[in-house]
Amino acid sequence: RKEVEQDPGPFNVPEGATVAFNCTYSNSASQSFFWYRQDCRKEPKLLMSVYSSGNEDGRFTAQLNRASQYISLLIRDSKLSDSATYLCVVTMNTGNQFYFGTGTSLTVIP
Amino acid sequence: GAGVSQSPSNKVTEKGKDVELRCDPISGHTALYWYRQRLGQGLEFLIYFQGNSAPDKSGLPSDRFSAERTGESVSTLTIQRTQQEDSAVYLCASSLLAGGKWEQYFGPGTRLTVT
């Protein structure tokens, strides 16, 4: 079983739409949680950390549900520039072993 | 400040040749990782260095792959007798402890093409 699972999509949404991605993880001992963004033919970049209390950064909101072992990312008022692959990442053990999901592809359509 | 850098950015090699890829992590980052990403696929963990501890080599796909790191600085990933299935982007990342959790930062990658 994979450590981290994501729906690969693709998600195709119109500009201005709200879109949500979910990710599940298998190890209840997972310590830290992140969302990364990867543009086509570019390296992944840290988008935001995910905290148990939930956290918001502008149009982006991340939530963690430890009991159900899933994390989510909500994007409001989608922009064309949000088109990318979103990677769910968890860490284990000492906190610096990273496990990446295969990513969810988002295309925002004009 | 300076991010993770990798060289070369692109490498085309003939099947059977050896290649060496370089990664310069962010200064002060004790952990360094190598990943492979084939076209249209997710990240595949290769190897992880943490300070002076023995590296975690569990992701290396075969004994043709090896990596070294000198202290907490530059790392090299070596692929011997390259095969066409080695064609991929090789990504290096380094991490630091920030706000009680480790955050990982990636270099731009080396795109390897084996002909």
Out of A46, A97, A101, the one facing B105 most closely (by C-beta) is A46
Q: What's the rounded Cα separation, in Å, for the pair A22 and A98?
A: 18
Averages of pLDDT over runs of 10 residues in chain B (115 residues) are 91 98 93 93 92 90 95 93 97 86 91 97
**Which pairing describes strands A19-25 and A4-6: parallel, antiparallel, or unpaired?**
antiparallel
Distances in whole angstroms, Cα of residue A23 to Cα of each of A4, A16, A71, A85, A110: 7, 23, 5, 13, 27
A103 in reach of chain B (CB within 8 A):
yes
The pLDDT, as a whole number, for residue A93 is: 61
Q: What is the pLDDT of residues A47-101, one digit of tens each?
A: 999 988 889 999 999 999 999 999 999 999 999 999 999 999 998 766 568 899 9
| C-alpha distance from A110 to closest chain B C-alpha (Å) | 24
Taking one residue from A and the other from B, the number of pairs with CB-CB distance under 8 angstroms is 51
Residue in chain A lying closest to B3 (CA):
A45
| CA dist., res. B37 & res. B43, Å (int) | 5
- Rounded to whole angstroms, the Cα distance separating B98 from B104 reads 10
Interface test with chain B among A33, A39, A55, A96, by most B beta carbons within 10 Å: A96
Q: What angle do CA A22, A23, A29 make, to 5 degrees?
A: 140
Instruction: Give, as one character, the DSSP assignment of residue A81.
Output: G
DSSP label at residue B56 = B
The whole-angstrom separation of Cα A78 and Cα A107 is 10
From the list B41, B91, B99, which residue is nearest A43 (CB)? Answer: B91
Of B42, B95, B104, the CB nearest to A103: B42
Instruction: Using a CB–CB cutoff of 8 Å, tell me whether A48 touches chain B.
Output: no
pLDDT of residue B68: 95
Phi/psi class of residue B58: alpha, beta or left (left: φ > 0; alpha: ψ in -120 to 50)? alpha
The CA distances from residue B97 to A28, A82, B103, B108, in Å, are 21, 28, 6, 21
Give residue-wise pLDDT tens across range A13-45.
999 999 999 999 998 888 889 999 999 999 999
